[in-house]
Chain A
Amino acid sequence: MALVLVPEVPLADWLAGLDAQMARSPAYFAGKPVVVDLAAVGPAPHLVAGLMDALTARAIHVIGIEGISPDVASPALPPLLAGGRTVTEGVIPDAPTPPPDAPPALEPSFLLLDQPVRSGQSVVFPRGDVTVVGSVGSGAEVVAGGSIHVYGTLRGRAVAGVAGHGQARIFCRRLEAELLAIDGLYRTADDIEPGLRGKPAMAWLEGDSMRVASLD
């Protein structure tokens, strides 16, 4: 699973915003695969190439691009993806457009884990909420596009709202977390009020600050 970046024009402004976000959580993109959606940027080749260089300079690992037509794709750019599948060349140009399908059934998007998340394991689910029926071990991490629910002890890292959803929250039955993050804002264990340790707790964003409170 990869993170998706959606650049906007003017690119300079968008990059400045990205830099601000990266300054708040420098390791956020480290080692994570990223897909860039170019729908808003358009197919202009110099813009696309410049953007790729800018992302590479920020050590963001781009594994694919989407949102532009296949004829713009070139070997110099990352492979073109669509809907999670690689688009290969050789599409028959005259192929009739498929008839519009019935509206897709509304798929609930969540991840439920019946097992504890053990030290060293990383669960990444950018599409929605993650529920863990068990504990998240020290040195483990759960990354979710939506909220994170842990029905055991949260000892590792919980990173919620990764795709820019500041309304996401983190819930746990027992708070021993090493790090809590929502939409790029984070708190390490040292910054969490000691009185909350070992308690059922919830973390959420209020404006530009993270609040953590006991659920009892």
Chain B
Amino acid sequence: MSKVLVVTSGKGGVGKTTSTAALGAALAQLGKSVVVVDFDVGLRNLDLVMGAERRVVFDLINVIQGDAKLPQALIRDKRIDNLSLLPASQTRDKDALSAEGVARVIAELRERFDWVICDSPAGIEKGATLAMHHADAAVVVTNPEVSSVRDSDRIIGMLDSKTAKAERGERIEKHLLVTRYDPVRAARGEMLKVEDVLEILSIPLLGIIPESEEVLRASNVGSPVTLSAPQSNPGRAYFEAAKRLNGEALPVAIPGEKRGLMSKLFGRRVA
């Protein structure tokens, strides 16, 4: 049974695109057929992070407007057979997305793939609402800092009210992915602790991705970190998150969690 997943956050620059690519590549390596869809029309990045920027011919907007068929726009990954990309258009903007067009494309993708992963643009406007509208589940990407957490809270409220599932009175499955987590800074009180983020957002934790050079390097060479460095700390954390998405019950370890002097000296900080 296929599942539509939106990767969203409200705030920009927290790691939606990186997480979309890493989770997509991990699920594909776990044997699922996966498509990652870039909804950031006008500011597309997923093609770069996936290393497919030189192979884009047709895009999501072409398919929505009927200028191309879906199979013409899908780009199959060269490294993993069962991973595809549907790129966004760079020359258009979000107004080119239509509700009917998106519904049609998502329905068609559902028939072809086990996982349809939609990379949402930042913000709460049309692009973000259309990216989340057909989702069965959502990954809310949050950095452990107050502005990101509050924006995520806003997005969770929208997931619970603006999606097709919510409109039918059903509950959309929501997962929290904490990215760019730095245990040293968290211990010093310069960053929110995971428990504080969880207390504020009160949705289940999917994983904690440690801040790492490896993630930046992976983006720059156009390869999801779960492909280029699967044994690195972030690579392993994304793999575990992908397994949890697949229904495996794995406990989440908080990186570098030690109850030391530092954490006793510096109390909890909340938003």
**Do A and B originate from a single complex?**
yes
**Which residues of A pack against B, CB within 8 Å?**
115-121, 134-135, 137-140, 153, 155, 176, 198
Chief secondary structure at chain A's binding surface? loop
Q: How far is the CA of A57 from the CA of B154 in the complex (A)?
A: 34
* Of listed B124, B153, B200, B270, residue having the most chain A CB within 10 A: B153
Of B154, B200, B270, B271, which is within 8 A of A120 by CB? B154
Of A134, A138, A176, which is within 8 A of B150 by CB? A138
Contacts of B151 in A (CB 8 A): 119
Contacts of A155 in B (CB 8 A): 200, 270-271
Chief secondary structure at chain B's binding surface? helix
A137/B160 in contact, CB under 8 A: no
Determine if B241 is an interface residue (Cβ-Cβ < 8 Å): no
Determine if B199 is an interface residue (Cβ-Cβ < 8 Å): yes
The closest CB in chain B to the CB of A155 belongs to: B271
B109 CB → nearest A CB, Å: 29
B153/A153 in contact, CB under 8 A: no
Contacts of A153 in B (CB 8 A): 199-200, 270
B202/A139 in contact, CB under 8 A: no
A138/B153 in contact, CB under 8 A: yes
Indicate whether A134 sits within 8 Å of B202 (C-beta atoms), given known contacts A118-B160, A119-B153, A139-B154: yes
Contacts of A140 in B (CB 8 A): 153, 157
B150/A137 in contact, CB under 8 A: yes
Contacts of B156 in A (CB 8 A): 118
Contacts of A118 in B (CB 8 A): 153-154, 156-157, 160
- Interface residues in B178-199 by Cβ distance below 8 A to A read 199
**Which residues of B pack against A, CB within 8 Å?**
124, 146, 150-151, 153-154, 156-158, 160, 199-200, 202, 270-271
B199/A139 in contact, CB under 8 A: no
B150/A119 in contact, CB under 8 A: yes
Indicate whether A139 sits within 8 Å of B153 (C-beta atoms), given known contacts A115-B160, A116-B202, A153-B199: yes
The closest CB in chain B to the CB of A134 belongs to: B202
10 closest A-B pairs (Cβ-Cβ)?
Answer: A118-B157, A119-B153, A119-B154, A120-B154, A137-B153, A118-B153, A121-B157, A138-B150, A138-B271, A119-B150
B234 CB → nearest A CB, Å: 28
The closest CB in chain A to the CB of B161 belongs to: A121
Contacts of B199 in A (CB 8 A): 153
Q: How far is the CA of A176 from the CA of B158 in the complex (A)?
A: 23
Q: How far is the CA of A137 from the CA of B153 in the complex (A)?
A: 7
Q: How far is the CA of A110 from the CA of B153 in the complex (A)?
A: 25
Contacts of A176 in B (CB 8 A): 270-271
The closest CB in chain A to the CB of B149 belongs to: A138
B157/A119 in contact, CB under 8 A: yes
* Of listed A119, A134, A139, A198, residue having the most chain B CB within 10 A: A119
B161 CB → nearest A CB, Å: 8
Contacts of B158 in A (CB 8 A): 120
- Ordered by A's residue number, 29 sampled pairs between the chains whose C-beta atoms are within 8 Å are A116-B202, A117-B157, A118-B156, A118-B157, A118-B160, A119-B153, A119-B154, A119-B157, A120-B157, A121-B157, A134-B202, A137-B150, A137-B153, A137-B157, A137-B200, A138-B146, A138-B150, A138-B153, A138-B271, A139-B150, A139-B154, A140-B153, A140-B157, A153-B199, A153-B200, A155-B200, A155-B270, A155-B271, A198-B270
Q: How far is the CA of A137 from the CA of B157 in the complex (A)?
A: 10
Q: How far is the CA of A185 from the CA of B197 in the complex (A)?
A: 32
Contacts of A119 in B (CB 8 A): 150-151, 153-154, 157
B24 CB → nearest A CB, Å: 27
The closest CB in chain A to the CB of B271 belongs to: A138
Contacts of A117 in B (CB 8 A): 157
B163 CB → nearest A CB, Å: 14
Q: How far is the CA of A135 from the CA of B200 in the complex (A)?
A: 8
